[in-house]
Structure 1
């Protein structure tokens, strides 16, 4: 058990370089919330629902993270910062990372029965801050959900989801094979249509700036040089306009 705890703390440190020691990681709200959830889930499985819910409320009060006792969570799960909500029928695989203000939310059952209502996150998934993953969908292995994205459909394995409503984007292989990407989004931002709309807009703006600079330089060369001690054309016009 002690070895598993050490391995878990080391896995957190691999994803967050801020802590100076394992003792510091033990004080992380996400780590505390996960530990308390393990107890609450054991009580939930034993059908001691009141005690499980009490543990859930205590954990939420202490950490600002709300994990329903019924949620199933795998190994090396890490919530970086707090204010996260995880629903009852959510299932989380191994080595999953969630950032602050994420919701793994549910939908109302249409048949009046409390069935599978919350998402399933496969292994090595990263959910960026503020993302909302809603409904009984599956987020495939190694998938990334960008910050503030709203996901309501299944996510393919290895995809990066961005936007509102979230859409899948192609990510270069060298990014896909990385073990971990902070906040689930590559820093060079390949997600916003750089191959078409995004890159075209940037190139168009750069071309317009270049044209404007050339026009300004041509106008400056065309203006007569002011006589020594005299005024240039613009100064003379401003002066004449003031006098009139």
Structure 2
């Protein structure tokens, strides 16, 4: 039992550079939320639903993390910071990392039967802060969900998803994937395959704006010149008119 706790704390230290020791990790709300969930889940499986809910509400009060007692969670699950909601039919694999303000939410069943309503996260998934994963979707192994992404469809293995609605960045997993990637986003490579093309495009647009500005100024100067010529013609005295010829 103690060995399992030590291994779990070491897995958290390996993914979070902040703690200086295992003792600090023991103060993390995500660690305590998982501890209380293990108890609530055991009660839930024993059909002691009310007691499971009591433990769940106590955990939510103490940690600001709401994990339904029915959720199935694997080994070395880590919630960094908190304010996370995990639904009843959610399934989470091993070595999954979730950052703050994430929702593993359910979809509204149209057939009136609850069934599988919440996401399934396979092993080594990382979910960035503020992400919303909704419905009975499956997030493939080693997939990364970027911060504030909204996911409503299955995510292939090793993919990185960003945006509203989340879309693949088209960055091949094998080019950057490691055993663990902090915050679920490749930091040294662009999230989208643009690189220097973006800077080049910005330079082109700035040059185009400069050319258009020069053309507009030239047209305005030409129009002012024409107005000045017309004014001089209007002020020129008229030629004398000979009468009686």
Structure 2-normalised TM-score?
A: 0.81
Provide the residue aligned with 1:39 in structure 2: 39
Secondary structure, aligned partner of 2:24: helix
Residues 187-234 of structure 1, C-alpha deviation per residue, up to 9 Å, x if partnerless? Answer: 134323416xxx433212235668999xxxxxxxxxxxxxxxxxxxxx
Q: Unaligned 5+ residue runs, structure 2?
A: 211-245
Provide the residue aligned with 1:174 in structure 2: 175
What count of residue pairs does the alignment treat as equivalent? Answer: 209
Provide the residue aligned with 1:200 in structure 2: 197
Distance 2:129 2:38 in 1: 24
Provide the residue aligned with 2:241 in structure 1: none
Q: 1:27 to 1:205 in 2, by over 3 A?
A: same
Whether 1:142 and 2:139 are equivalent positions in the alignment is no
Distance 1:62 1:30 in 2: 10
Secondary structure, aligned partner of 2:161: strand
Provide the residue aligned with 2:120 in structure 1: 120
Alpha-carbon distance, 1:94 to partner = 0.1
Secondary structure, aligned partner of 2:176: helix
Q: Unaligned 5+ residue runs, structure 1?
A: 214-244
Provide the residue aligned with 1:14 in structure 2: 14
Distance 1:193 1:104 in 2: 28
Map 1:6-155 to 2 at 5 A.
Answer: 6-155=6-155
Residues 10-38 of structure 1, C-alpha deviation per residue, up to 9 Å, x if partnerless? Answer: 00000001111111101100000000000
Distance 2:114 2:194 in 1: 43
Residues 55-77 of structure 1, C-alpha deviation per residue, up to 9 Å, x if partnerless? Answer: 00000000000000000000000
Secondary structure, aligned partner of 2:136: coil
Distance 1:206 1:192 in 2: 19
